[in-house]
């Protein structure tokens, strides 16, 4: 994903100085993939996830003078999370969101055989379906911890909850995900 840090939306006046652009690129751009991954799992739509990350980056640019840290991952992911939940609230009455198609966005591994590919595809699909059935508050902490590798402290910063709540939601989310996966008949895995 390429960002023009000097480009603005109509009506927005905030531009980053050359020094701020360097700082922005060093502290936030390395985490665009993590931002997209979180948005994709929260919104269940690749196009909405891309739009949410773009909107989040624009928000980050607008408020970058308030960023005081050196590791922008938690800061950017919090903006993405808030953007996604705002979009979900706005769309709540408008029907269901499109389902994310994992098969279109999973890198191919040429070194594996057909049986291994099938097993991996079935397992990934089961986990994806299980994650989709979890409430967003559990889904987001699992994605942030298991897929993005954030620490409990970082998750607490992103989600704006105490570390104890992060641990509780992770435990409950993992338990619920296991129950969902175990409830599937053996032939469907």
Average pLDDT rounded to a whole number, residues 124-152: 88
Q: Domain-by-domain residue ranges, the chain? A: 18-94, 112-188
- What percent of the chain lies above the pLDDT cut of 90? 34
Q: What is the CATH number of domain 112-188?
A: 1.10.10.10
Q: Which residue has the tokens 């050359």?
A: 18
Per-residue pLDDT tens digits for 78-116: 999 999 988 888 877 554 444 444 444 444 444 456 666
| Predicted model pTM | 0.62
CA distance 189 to 174: 18
Mean pLDDT, the chain, as a whole number?
A: 79
Q: Which residue, 137, 68, 130, 62, is CA-closest to 102?
A: 130
CA distance 88 to 186: 33
Residue 7 Cα distances to 14, 27, 38, 47, 175, angstroms: 9, 19, 25, 21, 45
Q: What is the CATH number of domain 18-94?
A: 1.10.1740
Phi/psi of residue 10, each to 5°? -60, 130
Q: Is the pLDDT reported for residue 32 higher than 60?
A: yes
């Amino acid at each position: 994903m390429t960002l023009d840090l000097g480009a603005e939306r109509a009506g927005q006046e905030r531009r980053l100085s050359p020094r701020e652009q360097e700082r922005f690129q060093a502290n936030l751009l390395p985490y665009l993939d993590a931002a997209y991954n979180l948005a994709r799992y929260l919104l269940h739509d690749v196009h909405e996830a891309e739009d949410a990350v773009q909107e989040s980056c624009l928000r980050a640019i607008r408020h970058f003078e308030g960023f005081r840290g050196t590791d922008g991952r938690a800061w950017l992911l919090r903006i993405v999370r808030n953007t996604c939940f705002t979009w979900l609230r706005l769309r709540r009455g408008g029907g269901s969101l499109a389902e994310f198609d994992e098969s279109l966005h999973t890198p191919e591994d040429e070194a594996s055989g057909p049986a291994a590919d099938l097993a991996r595809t079935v397992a990934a699909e089961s986990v994806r379906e299980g994650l989709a059935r979890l409430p967003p508050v559990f889904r987001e902490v699992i994605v942030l911890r298991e897929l993005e590798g954030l620490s409990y402290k970082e998750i607490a910063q992103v989600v704006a909850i105490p570390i104890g709540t992060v641990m509780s939601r992770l435990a409950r989310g993992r338990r619920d995900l296991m129950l969902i996966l175990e409830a599937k008949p053996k032939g469907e895995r």
